[in-house]
A and B are shown apart, each in its own frame.
Chain A
């Protein structure tokens, strides 16, 4: 019976996926991460003397931009320039940036006369760059001194590498929402990236820190200006053009995440909508044998959308069954089924344990483990959050007018001490 099969599917799918991420994460760790013997402070020597351009699109970043430029400028790499793209900001960003050119000799500033959106800002950065390797970071991302060297190690390591993505680390952890995201970034997002890298293709680079080969971008026409998540779109188009995208967990970039529910919701909804838009736009091009390496990533994403709606239906039926009798033969859905529950709980624990073991080398904070204590249950909540955002995002993506320009405003940057 269809409903009973759906009930089984919604409980099995997260379980299987969590184990795939665990297995993929362990595979990646032993295959690349551990064997390399390097850490964030000691990137391997690529033997290349290539220069790069750090591109920083900023829209109303007056509060953050000084720090962002400072840390980018402090990169320990032999030859680079920094290009800040002021995307028609209405705050003091333009003036601050111009003043910073007096302090930081490697900094150049490109003003867009009016707000154009992040994709156009990045495109303009690619045009302005003097080098063919671009390291793109967000206007509020603080680079680790060796992050650029790590990214360049990959970009110069072979002609197939079109892009590389780094490892964003969350700085603000005062509230429960902050701690949840710390756990999520390492126990879920980090594991997913490693697992996807293990099977050769990744769903998306992190827009907050990604490096690109300009020749690859030029072949595919640079960033699209009508996708709400330009990073997911560019990742798919690069890989559809057979470029490799690497994930480098040692390329660190420090970020502030939202610590309000409204900020988190807006951000996650945008991510979910961006994924759906990308699949809608590029899904059809996957039906060719040469594109097969992307099938795993695409299948995982499409099934996760089906799962979200399936879970939504099961929850509705479970609530309905509280007030009315279900048709004969239907499984009475319990929101926490007994045996699946034990396995799910154990899986969440193991997922956290594995990610903690893999991820702790990227933490400078000795209290890292404490975050896990607070949020040991989070892998379960992660699935509910994914369900809600996906269910809300699909109609938004379907109803969006074609060609509508994507513009977005950064969410809140969490709780910061007044002296910051």
Chain B
């Protein structure tokens, strides 16, 4: 099963998956979107070209000014902070710290960090009240069932 998947997941672009009614509505919306977009350009043929140039000039100045501010701010940040390493490499958090932060014993922190399968119980305010490792008998049985189902479905493919 796991070897059947491609290295990179495949893009799904299949219009047949969509009900035809929805597909037509989508096409209409897309056409309307195009219509509105093209309508935006109608002043280019309807009005005085000098007015067009003046308008573009005004917008150009506004956009240019905002661009200069943006690049100025980006540049300031770059020159002020790049290669400015005031921090030393931080120490690893460590089991002791983690246990303290999460309000559990060090032994419990070690169990959750090493057990292959573990169950965590919480109180009402997300405090950890219990950590138990390994699966229970019922779950083991379920896993066996799921594995059997999975094997059957793989064979049928």
Contacts and interface: CB of A to CB of B under 8 A. Distances in A.
Contacts of B39: 336, 341
B17 to A, nearest CB: 4
Given A101-B116, A199-B70, A375-B33, 18 more contacts: A15-B59, A16-B62, A19-B66, A20-B67, A114-B122, A123-B102, A142-B9, A160-B85, A171-B11, A173-B11, A174-B12, A174-B18, A176-B27, A293-B77, A338-B43, A342-B40, A342-B55, A345-B40
Contacts of B44: 342
Contacts of B23: 175
A218 interface: yes
Nearest to A260: B22
A3 to B, nearest CB: 20
A359 interface: no
A95 B148 CA distance: 12
A343 interface: yes
B120 A98 contact: no
Interface string B100-120: 011000000100111111111
A70 B2 CA distance: 7
Interface size class of B (residues with CB under 8 A): 35 or more
A175 B26 contact: yes
A188 interface: no
A159 B88 contact: yes
A70 to B, nearest CB: 5
Contact of B118 (A128, A175, A341): A128
B152 interface: no
B8 interface: yes
A16 to B, nearest CB: 5
A255 B34 CA distance: 28
Contacts of B146: 92, 95-96, 99
Nearest to A170: B11
Nearest to B30: A374
Given A19-B67, A95-B142, A109-B117, A343 B59 contact: yes
Interface of B: 1-2, 5, 7-15, 17-18, 22-23, 26-27, 29-30, 33-34, 36-44, 47, 51-52, 55-56, 59, 62-63, 66-67, 70-71, 73-74, 77-78, 81, 85, 87-93, 97-98, 101-102, 109, 112-122, 126, 128, 135, 139, 142-143, 145-147, 150
A366 B118 CA distance: 44
Given A99-B146, A159-B90, A377-B33, A127 B98 contact: yes
Interface in A1-31: 12, 15-16, 19-20, 23-24, 27
Contact of A23 (B8, B42, B71, B145): B71
Contacts of B26: 175-177
24 contacts: A15-B63, A27-B74, A95-B145, A111-B120, A113-B122, A123-B102, A130-B114, A144-B8, A145-B8, A159-B85, A174-B18, A177-B26, A198-B74, A216-B90, A254-B8, A293-B81, A336-B36, A342-B44, A342-B55, A343-B59, A344-B40, A345-B40, A345-B41, A416-B17
A325 B2 CA distance: 68
Interface of A: 12, 15-16, 19-20, 23-24, 27, 66-67, 70-71, 74, 92, 94-96, 98-99, 101-103, 108-114, 116, 120, 123-124, 126-130, 132, 142, 144-145, 158-160, 171-178, 195, 198-200, 213-216, 218, 221-222, 225, 254, 293, 296, 336, 338-345, 348, 364-365, 367, 374-378, 380-381, 405, 414-417, 420
B40 A103 contact: no
Contacts of A116: 122, 126
A381 B39 CA distance: 15
Contacts of A344: 40
Contacts of B8: 144-145, 254, 364
A142 B22 CA distance: 28
Given A99-B147, A174-B18, A215-B90, A343 B55 contact: yes
Nearest to A84: B117
A110 B112 contact: yes
B80 to A, nearest CB: 9
Nearest to B111: A128
B112 A127 contact: yes
Nearest to A132: B92
Contacts of B109: 127
Contacts of A23: 67, 70-71
A199 B47 CA distance: 40
Contacts of A293: 77, 81
Nearest to A144: B8
A215 B92 contact: yes
A99 B93 contact: no
A109 B97 CA distance: 22
A415 B116 CA distance: 35
A200 B71 contact: no
Nearest to B64: A19
Contacts of B41: 341-342, 345
B59 to A, nearest CB: 5
